[in-house]
A and B are shown apart, each in its own frame.
Chain A
Amino acid sequence: MERFVETLIDGIATGSIYGALALALVLIYRSTGIVNFAQGELAMFSTFIAWGLVEAGIPLGLAILLTLAVSLVGGMVIERVLIRPVEGGQELTLVTVTLGLFILVNGLARWIWGSTNRGFPSLFPDGSANLVGIGVAWESLGLVAVLLGVVGVLWLVFQHTTLGLAMRAAAVDPAASRLVGIPVGRMLMLGWGFAAVCGALAGVLVAPRLFLDPNLMGPVIIYSFAAATLGGFDSPFGAVLGGWIIGVAEALAGGYVDFIGQDLKILVPLGVILAVLLIRPQGLFGSPEVARA
């Protein structure tokens, strides 16, 4: 029983990693309607910036705040410079640009920082809290708490501020938004900026656990795609919940079902997703597409 609960907690902790990056994916999708394949690499790049600042002697908290600010600006600049020229074209052209960005950013990080592993300091204390007899690492608790906090803030911004409303409008119907005076271009930039901030946060949260190298997010992003797909691509809460479900399903499969084993446990979340999507094609919390004839 104790092992079961521990496995469950492992799953949630790992799932939080997937969810954190999935949040960034959802943000871009909500604001620009595309999937950004380079999201993980941008997050990795941000994390290296934070690492560089810490190495330069800046305290961790401040370094992270600076990194978030740099990421916000960086995300906006990337949207303006790299994405805007193909904005409004074929969707697949945009997706291919993000693929190119993926390769480029990864190569750039390898060129600047090399491919070696680096330790990244954790925001949270070592050791574990005792929750009804079971030790849960502070790091895991912290991860979950931050993630929930971010979802809360996003929900507030998107549902209860004019800015959020304008961002949603710009994504859903840019032409009409322009007519009512929403600066659509600026909203798209903001969407990329916010996504980059989320990604950077995901990066600094997971780097202490995964160790920092240019391949930090390569494996994670696949699971984050899965999390976002499961949760519904336009729902931040769905992304986080999707991450948890996938993390737990995977941990249980790897931990208990010997036939599946560690090597094929990736098929379990895939099965879950397929089952959910066959019933709800828009994911658990996504809004259904309305077909236009």
Chain B
Amino acid sequence: MSRTRIAWIVLLVLAILLPFFFSSYRVTQFTLVLAYAVAALGLNLLLGYSGQISLGHGAFFALGAYVTAILVAKSGWPHLATIPVAAAICAAAGFAVGIPALRLHGLYLALVTLGLAVATPQLIKRFDGLTGGTQGLAAPSPSVPGFLDFLADDQWLYLLNLAILVPMFVLAAGLVRGRVGRALVTVRDNPIAAKTFGVDLAAYKTRAFAVSAAYAGVAGSMFTITVGFVAPESFGFALSFSFLAAVVVGGLATVAGAIFGALFIEFVPVYAADVNEALAAVIYGGVLILFMYVLPTGVVGLARRVRLRPKQEGERDAVVVDRGVAGGGAGERVRAQ
């Protein structure tokens, strides 16, 4: 049993105990953090492992959120049953975006996907028969089941979201550690070599996009479960930027980083506003910049550097390569070191 695994188990136990030590509103914030963490994880799979950048993950997040909201509010589905549907629909959408993405590199891909995020609120409003349009759509959060009635609503929602998050993380960890992960990293770091070794670049890249979008979709479902209400205003393009910031703050090509990143984007703005309401944005922006100075490789990157031990055979670290991966072409540019 590796130290990493023990650390994960301790973290999980802490995460399960967490809602019993915090006030209800903080638990709600943590519940949102769980949703954001899954989205950041999805983006990290794409960005960190296959080297493709997306500024459009807010769109997949919104899609997942609305799939759940619509199925719950209009068809009376149980919340949990909507999650596979959201994942499947988002995977299909991700796959569809992944195909043209094959031709695009770095910056160009980033900006085309940004267009997706920008158009999302308008698309939601356009299909108002389905989405409730500008009025939003209420899909009340699931209530505490009878056998768990010692839990408060917010504790139940938190634990429910945690129960969704854990398999998503386990799945991702397995994915990046296995054959697929190694292939993806090769695709990212040396596409030409990967091709020579018989890796089907196009297939891996489009699948990475699909999986990544499915994660964002599940995160969207978690959002709806938590908030119980969806409206176009929740899904502006700032959301996609937040996910990007979460990935970078947490650390590229790390699974654990998604959690730190999600904590960052949820809590730092709130704390900044507590320090000084009028200067909240200035503080938040400043902290983000400072963070990049102090921890340019993210929180997990720092943890790795602190450990600084030689990599052992079969260790997960073997697949992690700290280097610029802003994606394909643009990332390959030679820079002064």
Please list the residues of chain A having a beta carbon within 8 angstroms of any beta carbon in chain B.
29, 33, 35, 37, 82, 85-93, 95-97, 99-108, 110-111, 173-175, 178, 184, 222, 225-226, 228-229, 233, 263-264, 266-267, 269-270, 273-274, 277-278, 281-283, 289, 291-293
Residue of A nearest to B297 (CB): A90
Asked whether A92 lies within 8 Å of B325 as measured between CB atoms, the reply is yes
Query: Contact at A100–B332, with CB atoms within 8 Å?
Result: no
Closest to A96 in B: B248
Q: In the complex, identify which listed stretch (B86-94, B204-212, B277-285) lies at the interface while the others stay far away.
A: B277-285
Q: Are A226 and B288 in contact (CB under 8 A)?
A: no
From A37, A86, A175, A266, B292 is in contact (CB under 8 Å) with A86
Cross-chain contact A90 with B114 (CB below 8 angstroms)? no
In the bound complex, do residue B282 and residue A111 qualify as a contact, i.e. CB atoms below 8 Å apart? yes
Central interface residue in A85, A90, A178, A293, by most chain B CB within 10 Å: A90
26 A-B contacts (beta carbon < 8 Å): A33-B330, A35-B111, A86-B296, A90-B296, A90-B297, A91-B333, A92-B244, A92-B325, A95-B244, A103-B284, A105-B285, A108-B282, A174-B334, A222-B237, A225-B111, A228-B111, A229-B112, A264-B122, A266-B119, A267-B115, A269-B115, A270-B115, A281-B105, A289-B332, A293-B190, A293-B193
In the complex where A85-B293, A97-B292, A100-B288 touch, is A111 in contact with B279 (Cβ < 8 A)? Answer: yes
Which B residues are in CB contact (< 8 Å) with A29?
A: 107
Q: A33-B330, A91-B330, A281-B108 are in contact. Are A99 and B245 (CB under 8 A)?
A: yes
Nearest B residue to A174 by beta-carbon distance?
B336
Most buried by A among B248, B280, B287: B248
Select from chain B the residue with minimum beta-carbon distance to A95.
B326
B interface majority secondary structure:
helix
Given A96-B288, A281-B104, also A35-B332 (CB < 8 A): no
Contact residues in B for A178 (Cβ distance below 8 Å): 336
Query: How far, in angstroms, from A107 to B122 measured CA to CA in the complex?
Result: 26
Query: In the complex, what distance in Å separates the CA atom of A175 from the CA atom of B337?
Result: 8
Chain A interface SS verdict (over half): helix
Closest CB of chain A to B121's CB: distance in Å? 9
**Nearest Cβ in chain A — how far from B283, in angstroms?**
8
Least CB distance from A243 to B in Å reads 14
- Kindly state whether residue B177 has any CB partner on chain A within 8 Å: no
| A110, B281: Cβ atoms closer than 8 Å | yes
Q: Tell me whether A99 and B335 are in contact (CB under 8 A).
A: no
Q: How many A-B residue pairs have CB under 8 A?
A: 172
Are B284 and A266 interface neighbours, CB within 8 A? no
Contact present for B288 and A111 (CB under 8 Å): no
With contact pairs A103-B281, A107-B279, A266-B115 given, residues A289 and B245 touching in the complex (Cβ less than 8 Å):
no
B211-244 Cβ-contact flags toward A at 8 Å (1 or 0): 0000000000000000000000000010001001
Which A-B residue pairs are the 8 nearest by beta carbons?
A: A107-B281, A104-B285, A100-B288, A91-B326, A103-B285, A174-B336, A289-B329, A100-B289
Q: Is the CB of B18 closer than 8 A to any CB of chain A? A: no
Complex contacts, B304 vs chain A, CB 8 Å: none
Residues of B within 8 A of A103 (CB): 281, 284-285, 288
Cβ-closest chain A residue relative to B196 = A293
Residues in chain B near residue A173, CB distance under 8 A: 334
Q: Report chain A residues within 8 Å CB of B287.
A: 100
Picked from A107, A264, A283, the residue with its CB within 8 Å of the CB of B284 is: A107
B286 within 8 Å of A (CB atoms): yes
Please state if A291 and B329 are interface contacts (CB–CB under 8 Å).
yes
| B218 → A minimal CB distance (Å) | 24
CB–CB B281/A106 < 8 A: yes
| B115 x A93 contact (CB < 8 A) | no
Determine whether the beta carbon of B248 is less than 8 Å from that of A92.
yes
Contact A35 B110 (CB under 8 A): yes
Closest B residue to A91 using CB positions: B326
Interface residues on B, range: 35 or more
Q: B132 on the interface (CB 8 Å rule)? A: no
Q: Is B191 an interface residue (CB 8 A)?
A: yes
Cα of A88 to Cα of B336 in the assembled complex, Å: 6
A277 touches B292 (CB 8 A): no
Hey, which chain A residues are within 8 Å of B283, CB to CB? 107
Query: How far, in angstroms, from A231 to B248 measured CA to CA in the complex?
Result: 28
> How many angstroms between the C-alpha atoms of A105 and B288 in the bound complex?
13
Contact A111 B326 (CB under 8 A): no
Take A92-B326, A101-B289, A107-B282 as given contacts and tell me if A277 and B103 are in contact as well, using a CB distance cutoff of 8 Å.
Answer: yes
Are A100 and B285 interface neighbours, CB within 8 A? yes
List, in ascending order, chain B residues with CB within 8 A of A89's CB. 296, 324
Query: Nearest A residue to B335 by beta-carbon distance?
Result: A88
User: Is B73 an interface residue, CB under 8 A from the partner?
Assistant: no
A225 touches B114 (CB 8 A): yes
User: Could you tell me which residues of chain B, from 286 to 324, have a CB within 8 Å of some CB in chain A?
Assistant: 286-289, 291-293, 296-297, 322-324
| B248-A107 in contact (CB<8A) | no
Q: Does B180 contact A (CB under 8 A)?
A: no
Q: Which residues on A sit within 8 Å (CB–CB) of B84?
A: none
In contact, B332 and A291 (Cβ under 8 angstroms)? yes
In the complex, are the beta carbons of A91 and B324 less than 8 A apart?
Answer: yes
Which residues from A are CB-within-8-Å of B136? none
Please give the distance in Å from B48's CB to the nearest CB on chain A. Answer: 9
A171's nearest neighbour on chain B, judged by CB, is B333
A88 proximity list for chain B (CB < 8 A): 335-337
Give bound CA distance, A33 to B332, whole Å. Answer: 11
A29→B107 CA distance, assembly (Å) = 10
Report yes or no: A278 in contact with B103, Cβ–Cβ below 8 A.
Answer: yes
Q: Give the docked Cα–Cα distance between A92 and B279 (Å).
A: 26
Collect the chain A residues with CB atoms within 8 Å of residue B281's CB: 103-104, 106-108, 110
Alpha-carbon gap, A97 to B110, bound state (A): 16
Is B258 part of the contact surface with A, judged by Cβ < 8 Å?
no
Q: A33-B335, A111-B282, A175-B336 are in contact. Are A90 and B107 (CB under 8 A)?
A: no
